[in-house]
Chains A and B, each alone.
Chain A
Amino acid sequence: MKGITVKYVCKRFFSALFTLWVALTFNFLLPRMMGGDPAEFLASQTALGSAEYAQQVREQFGLDKSVFEQYIRYLGGLVRGDLGVSYTNFPIPVTEIITQAIPWTLLVVLVSTLLSFLIAWIIGTLAALKKGSWFDNLAVGTSFYIQSIPYFWVGMLLVMGLGYHLGWFPMGHAMTPGAELSSFWAKAGNIAYHACLPVLSLVIVSLAGRMIMMRSNILQVFSEDYIVLAQAKGLRRGKILTKYALRNALLPSFTGLMLSLGQAVGGAIATEIIFSYPGIGLTIMNAILSHDYPLVQGCFAIIALSVVAINFLADLIYPLIDPRVSLD
């Protein structure tokens, strides 16, 4: 196996940086293209509601400078890790609010995405192995249906059924108030217990599409010559399945895994709302409702950053598991 070259890493890195820059520039331009003056809005929200106050806000947030100057300040702030100050929670920096929210989102998104891929791989493989059986037909049929269910709706049903009706799981929040004071294991258990339903709701829907994909990948690989030759070689079934079929079928879905980790951060927003889960999604929605633009922009910047970072990571890992990827 060849090592990753410095040139390759640099190339990927700059490509990631470019993508991030595009996303962040959009992030900067959007509110300014849409019209409407956040300062006026904020001033109108307060009791003071005066023109002077609006002017004061403008100066405070640098909104009185030219757009270009604002852009430079914005990029400079990002480099220093400064996302500005939240309008609504005035003295608190945006970064602080986001730092509190992001671990919760990561927890739910990571666990649900990994779990969903794992189960999809297993069911997809079994369905492909038993192609045409009742199991295959059931799995594919159900998946077709589930695939087009809005995932937040599944969340609502779970809260109603397993949460409210049966009372098996908590209906929301990331942990019981006061639980942070208890021992590490009790706290971890409490968090896991609260994460069950959000994770489940995300897994159920995303499972379907992935399972269909995995199944067709495996069927595709089964028709390849090297599988026939592996059979002709008299290899044992298990070896053919793992070393020859699965390895080739899993590779394409690895890219899918990484890409969907990124999209899932955005996708979990509605889920967080249903479960009042204090992650980045809930934060961004509250920020939108209260017109807290710096916070909205900050959240989006963080989401974009994490997605780009995950993709960069995938670019680095992929050549290690797929020897065919060229390193230039």
Chain B
Amino acid sequence: MKKETAARQKSDGYLMLEKYLLKNTRAKAGLLILLFFALVAIFAPLIAPYEPKDISFMPWEKPSLAHPLGVNSYGQDIFSQVVYGTQVTMAVGVMAGLLTSFIGIFVGLLAGYKGGRTGEVLMRIVDVFLVVPTLAFMIVLAAFLPSMGIWNLIIIIGGLNWLWMARSIRSQTLSEARREYVDAAKVQGMGTLEIMFREILPNIIPVVTANMVMVITSAMLTEATLSFLGLGDPSLISWGQMLSVSFDNNAILYNAWWWMLPPGLCIATLGFSFMLIGNSFLDIYANDRGGAVKL
């Protein structure tokens, strides 16, 4: 038993990595797609053949060698826009997702571990807000904000999305809190926060990651929707923003499929990769705990 613990501590991180990622085809495929988009985002200036806002081309030009995805109604190269859009979409998705995760993890752990009055009140609040239609609320909020920069976007999306995650983390924490290691930590005189973050959190990392991945996907989709509704930052080029512009400029009537398809496919594919990763994490974790884990 002792030897086992020592071995576990030695390479805990690596074992987890191996178990959840390297030995899992689905998760690996997801990670590969994610990596691809991340590289595109990082090296966007090198990959994009033109400046994304350069308007020096023939409007409505169909895909060609010079413009692999054609030209939009303003005479901008769509391929370059898609490449640069990766940056904004991923940044907003990841940042908002992280913000959501911080709140969700904290509230969930606190409500699940502390329980009692604090947990009760926290969950009551969560339940009340769960009923409020989130997207409509975001739209109203975005509408009343004097200006909509990328930070406002991140804060609005990230700050209003944590309810489900808090719930899921809480229910997982509730079942973890009954395990022996928590009692052991209590006996050792660890504080509440210390137990929450140093003992329980590492044990529910797969659930946290799965949640985080879903939250990032949903943040990406929300960004796309808000941008589409004209509530994003019009100076930014994101995939959602591109779809918005294409719709406003009657791309449908010009039959400009080359303008509408790529951003949507990119969103779907990136979301797909997140789904693959999150879901396979959950499956493995559920197998470990001998039953299904609900998000």
Contact = CB atoms under 8 A, between A and B. Distances in A.
Contacts of A30: 140-141, 144
Sort A-B residue pairs by CB-CB distance and give the 6 closest, nearest first. Answer: A148-B271, A266-B136, A266-B133, A153-B264, A288-B143, A266-B135
Contacts of B230: 285, 289
Contacts of A296: 140, 143-144
A164 to B, nearest CB: 6
28 contacts: A18-B128, A22-B128, A27-B140, A35-B146, A144-B272, A144-B275, A145-B269, A148-B267, A148-B268, A150-B221, A150-B240, A160-B255, A160-B257, A164-B253, A216-B292, A263-B133, A266-B134, A270-B225, A273-B228, A284-B136, A285-B139, A285-B230, A288-B143, A288-B231, A289-B230, A296-B140, A304-B133, A311-B131
A100 to B, nearest CB: 19
Nearest to B127: A19
B132 A23 contact: yes
Interface in A149-174: 149-150, 152-153, 156-157, 159-160, 163-165, 171
A79 to B, nearest CB: 20
B270 interface: yes
B133 A145 contact: no
A256 to B, nearest CB: 11
A147 interface: yes
B166 to A, nearest CB: 16
Contacts of B79: none
Interface in B257-281: 257, 260-261, 263-264, 267-272, 274-276, 279
A269 interface: yes
Given A34-B144, A270-B225, A262 B260 contact: no
A31 interface: yes
B181 interface: no
B208 to A, nearest CB: 20
Contacts of B268: 145-146, 148-150
B229 A269 contact: yes
A266 B228 contact: no
A266 B139 contact: yes
Interface in A209-253: 216, 219-220
A150 B225 contact: yes
Given A149-B264, A300-B137, A262 B143 contact: no
B145 interface: yes
A203 interface: no
Nearest to A308: B131
A253 B224 CA distance: 27
B237 interface: no
Interface in B87-133: 128-133
A283 to B, nearest CB: 12
A297 B145 CA distance: 14
Contacts of A26: 132, 137
B252 interface: yes
A36 interface: yes
Contacts of A285: 139, 229-230
Contacts of A147: 271-272, 275
Given A171-B252, A293-B144, A300-B137, 18 more contacts: A30-B144, A146-B268, A148-B220, A148-B272, A149-B271, A152-B243, A153-B224, A153-B260, A160-B252, A160-B257, A164-B255, A263-B133, A273-B229, A284-B139, A285-B139, A288-B139, A296-B143, A303-B136
Nearest to B222: A150
B131 A269 contact: no
A19 B271 contact: no
Contacts of A284: 136, 139-140
A150 B243 contact: yes
A148 B37 CA distance: 16
A145 to B, nearest CB: 5
Given A35-B146, A153-B243, A164-B255, A145 B292 contact: no
A36 B240 CA distance: 28
B28 to A, nearest CB: 15
Contacts of B279: 144
